[in-house]
């Protein structure tokens, strides 16, 4: 398949030549949180057929944005990971996420799927570095049956799939409550009060949790 191009000697156009095709940037979003197997990617991207997924991954490999790897024991299975060039797209993806939270989200459509794992990058997009100054803590989040964790270290954050080995605080929240928080229908405090969320662990880490992540207020693009 011939690659489409804008035929413009412009950095923005050249970048869009590489990642502007449908599904490509979402594949990069998935790989930003770590290596993924082909089946993992297919499960996270409902609507992306096997053939097109293979073609998009081949494109990313050819353009030096992704590479094939073997997952460490006990998995030892083939997977895909981003190269250095692919990893450097992270800030652009997070900027798009922040813009989308403010200008594009709105109410969830009936046809839209949601995977709790997408919150791994969402935490980075909403992270308030100033509020995290001086804090060193590991938070484990469990949305439904999917765990992930965030390591906060004096104004920086790293997020990863899977449970934390030694979390300072653990937050459990239902999938529905998390979506309502994302949609500004519910606050985390109210989720704790009505029982759709719970928290255990270090009191200071939990006290500061409410200040670490700030959802931008949704805005009307037409008004």
**Residues contacting residue 86 through CB under 8 Å, at least 6 positions apart:** 28, 31, 60, 64, 65, 66
Radius of gyration of the chain (CA): 19
How do residues 86-121 score in pLDDT, each as one tens digit?
Answer: 999 999 999 999 999 999 988 888 899 998 889 999
The fold for domain 11-88 equals Arc Repressor Mutant, subunit A (1.10.10)
Strands of 146-153's sheet, edge to edge? Answer: 156-161, 146-153, 136-143, 169-173, 197-201
CATH 1.10.10.10 intervals, the chain: 11-88
Q: How many residues does the chain have?
A: 223
Q: CATH class for domain 116-212?
A: alpha beta
CATH 3.30.1050.10 intervals, the chain: 116-212
Judge whether residue 223 has pLDDT over 80.
Answer: no
The average pLDDT across 139-151 equals 94
Residue 1: pLDDT band by 50, 70, 90 thresholds?
A: low
pTM over 0.85: yes
């Amino acid at each position: 398949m011939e690659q489409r191009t804008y035929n413009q000697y412009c950095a923005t156009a050249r970048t869009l030549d590489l990642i502007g095709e449908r599904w490509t940037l979402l594949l990069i979003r998935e790989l930003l949180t770590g290596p993924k197997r082909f089946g993992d990617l297919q499960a996270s991207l409902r609507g992306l057929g096997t053939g097109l997924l293979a073609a998009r991954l081949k494109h990313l490999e050819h353009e030096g944005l992704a590479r094939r790897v073997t997952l460490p024991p006990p998995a030892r299975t083939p997977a895909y990971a981003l190269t250095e060039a692919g990893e450097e797209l992270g800030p652009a993806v997070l900027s798009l996420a922040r813009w989308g939270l403010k200008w594009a989200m709105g109410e969830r459509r009936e046809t839209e799927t949601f995977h709790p794992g997408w919150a791994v990058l969402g935490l980075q997009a909403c992270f308030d570095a100033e509020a995290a100054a001086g804090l060193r803590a590991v938070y484990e989040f469990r949305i439904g049956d999917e765990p992930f964790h965030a390591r906060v270290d004096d104004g920086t954050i790293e997020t990863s799939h899977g449970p934390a080995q030694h979390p300072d605080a653990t937050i459990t929240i239902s999938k529905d409550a998390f979506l309502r928080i994302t949609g500004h229908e519910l606050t985390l405090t109210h989720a704790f009060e009505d029982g759709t969320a719970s928290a255990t662990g270090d009191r200071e880490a939990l006290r500061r949790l409410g200040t670490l992540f700030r959802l931008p207020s949704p805005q009307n693009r037409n008004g």
